Amino acid sequence: MGDWKVCPVCRDLVYAKRLARNLGVCPECGAHQLLPADDRVRQLLDEGSIGVIDWPSVDTDPLNFVDTMPYRDRLAAARRSTGLAEAVVLARGTVLGNPVVTAVMDFRFLGGSLGSAVGSAIDHAAEIAQDEDTPMLLVTASGGARMQEGVLSLLQMAKTSLALRRLDDAGVLTVSVITDPTYGGVAASFATLCDVIIAEPKARMGFAGPRVIEQTIRQSLPPGFQKAEFLLEHGLIDAIRPRGALRATVARLLSVGRPARPGTIHAPHASVGLVRDPGLLPERPVWAVVGLARHLDRPTTIDYLDHAFDDFEELHGDRLGGDCTAIVGGTARIGGVPVMVIGTQKGHSATELAAHNYGMPSPSGYRKAARLMRLAEKLGLPVITLVDTPGAYPGVAAEEQGQAIAVAENIRLMAGLSVPIVAVITGEGGSGGALALAVGDRVLACSNAVYSVISPEGCAAILWKDRAMAPTAAEALRMAARDLLRLGIVDGVLPEPAEGAHTDHLEAAQRLRDAVVTCVRELSGLTRRELVEARQRRFRSFGADANTAFELLRAGEK
C-alpha cells in the first residue's frame, strides 16, 4: 500500500505520486489533506530561496506535567514521529520573488498545540520580520492551547498577539493562511490578527470546536458551521483559495507590502485630461445627467477594476460578522503603484443589482471599507475610492447595526488618514452614504456624474410635496459636475467618451486610470502631515462663506 493512499474524506485510493503532484489535494473529491510543515514550506517558497530559521530554546515542560504519561515522553515521541523539534517551522525566503518570513505549523506534532516553544517561535519570527522590514506569512493548523503547560500556554496568546501588534506599529504586512483545523488559542491570537486572512477550502476555524459547543450549550449547529465558506460569508476572512492558487495569491499580497517610491509611478499616456475650468464643460439639463448617471450600462466598480487597475486582489469582510456586497475593495496596482481601491458596486442587470443591494452599503460595508483604509495607512498605500451609490442602505437591519455610526466613523477616519486619498464620483453620489467614501485629497467627478445631499425625487417629495417635481429639484440642487466644479466641491471633471461612459467602458476606464495616476503623482511629494492638514483645511472651508458660493454660481449663469 506504500504507493497508494486512502483519502480520509472520500475513502478512495489515490496513487501517492499523483497525490503529491496535486499538492496533497485529493484528485477525486478535492479534500485538502494535512501537510507536513516542511512540505508546506517547499510548496510556498521559491526553490533555492529557503533558509530555515532556528530560535532560542525554551523549557518545554515547565510544570513537570503527567497525565497518562509524562509530558516529556509525549514530546519525545512527537519529535521521533515528525522529525521536528516543535509544532512550527520557521523559514525565510521568497514567494515568486517577494521576500517573506514565514512560520508554518504542523498538526502532526501534538495537534499543532500552542505551547511556550511555539509562542516563542512566532515571537522570534515577528522580531526578524520587523528588523528586516519583511512581510510575515503564518500558516496555521492547531487544536488549541497545550494543556500540559497550564496557564503558561494560555499566555502565549498574549505573547503572539503582542508580536502582531509590533508588526502593526512597524507597518509590516502580515498574512495568514488558515488550514484545517485551526482552533482555540491559535485562532484567538495570531491566526486572526493578520492584515489578510486566507483559508483553504472547507478549512475549519473557531474558538471552540463544534463538539464543545454542542455539549456545552446543547445547541445544534448549522450546516458548514466554522468552515471556510461559512467564515467568508460572515466577513471573518478575506478569501478562500485552493492550495494550487495560494502561491500566486500570497505573492500578489506580498508585492504591495512595499509601496512604490514617487519616482516609480508610471506617467499616464497622452489622453483626455481633467477639466478644471467649469466654463469648458457643456451645459445640459441636470435631469438628463441624472439619467446618464443611473444608466444600467454605465461602468461599475468591478468594470473599472477589470480595465483600469492591475493585479486586483479582493479582500472581504468587516471582521465583525458581515461582508456587504455593495462595497468591493482590495489591493491593486495603477500606473505601477500599489494602492488600496474601494468602491460601491451596482450592476448591469436586475440579478446583479439585487446581488449587490443596488449599490446601497450596509454598516458592514462601511466597516469593511474602514478596515481596508486602516490597512492602507499601515502599509503606506494610496487609497482610491470609486463612488456610485444612491445612498447608504436605509433598512431596519442597517439601523440596528448602527448605520449612522458606521458612516460617521468612516468620515472621521478618512479625515485623518496619512496617505493620499483620491475619490472619484463615477455615477451617483448620494448623500452621507457617498461622502463616507469621498473625504479625499482630490475629489473628481465623471462628467455625467451627480453628487447631492439627497436624490431629486426625495427632495421633490419633501419640499414640493410632489415627486413629479424631481427635474426641478435636480436643477435647484446644483448636483451635476459643472456646478460641483464651480463650487469647488470637486477638483476636476473627467470627460466621458461619446455620449457617456456607458458607450465605451475601455475608454472610460483609461481616462479614469490616467486621472487617478496624475493625482497620485501630485500628492506623492507631500509628507503625511501635509496631506492631513491640507485635507482638513479643504473640508473645513466648505460653507464657511455661503455668499461666495452663491456668487460663484451666479457668475457661471451669466
Per-residue pLDDT tens for 20-49?
A: 888 888 888 888 988 999 999 999 999 999
In this prediction, residues 87-105 reach a mean pLDDT of: 97
With cut-offs at 50, 70 and 90, classify the pLDDT of residue 549. low
What pLDDT digit, counting tens, does each position of 412-465 carry?
999 999 999 999 999 999 999 999 999 999 999 999 999 999 999 999 999 999
Please name the fold of domain 270-557.
Answer: 2-enoyl-CoA Hydratase; Chain A, domain 1 (3.90.226)
Is the model more confident about 179 or about 554? 179
- The answer to whether 334 and 308 have CB atoms below 8 angstroms apart is yes
* Residue 259: predicted pLDDT: 57
SS3 480: strand
Which phi and psi (to 5°) does residue 82 adopt?
-105, -20
Q: 508 phi and psi, to 5 degrees?
A: -60, -40
- At 238, list the grid cell: 478575506
- Residue 270's pLDDT band, with cuts at 50, 70 and 90, is very low
Dihedral sign of CA atoms 292, 296, 297, 298 in order = positive
Work out the mean pLDDT of the chain and round it to a whole number.
92
Model pLDDT for residues 154-210, shown as the tens digit of each residue: 999 999 999 999 999 999 999 999 999 999 999 999 999 999 999 999 999 999 888
Cα-based angle 73, 78, 83 (whole degrees, multiple of 5):
130
pTM: 0.92
8-state DSSP, 503:
G
Cα 218 from Cα 206, distance rounded (Å): 18
User: Quick one: pLDDT at residue 556?
Assistant: 52
Share of the chain above pLDDT 70, in %: 94
What integer pLDDT is reported at residue 23 of this predicted model? 87
User: Which residues fall within 8 angstroms of residue 69, CB to CB, at 6 or more apart?
Assistant: none
Intrachain domains 35-255 and 270-557 with the same fold: yes
What does the DSSP 8-state code read for residue 320? S
Residue from 131, 124, 143, 104 nearest 57 by CA = 124
More reliable by pLDDT, 210 or 271: 210
- Residues 342-363 have pLDDT tens digits of 999 999 999 999 999 999 999 9
In angstroms, the CA 478 to CA 453 distance is 10
Question: What CATH class does 35-255 carry?
Answer: alpha beta
For the chain, the domains span 1-33, 35-255, 270-557
Mean pLDDT, range 400-412, rounded to an integer: 96
pLDDT category, 50, cuts 50, 70, 90? very high
Residue 500's pLDDT is: 93
What CA–CA distance (Å, rounded) separates 515 from 531? Answer: 19
Q: Residue 273's pLDDT is what?
A: 84
> Position of cell 491566526?
191
Checking if the pLDDT of 57 tops 90, the result is no
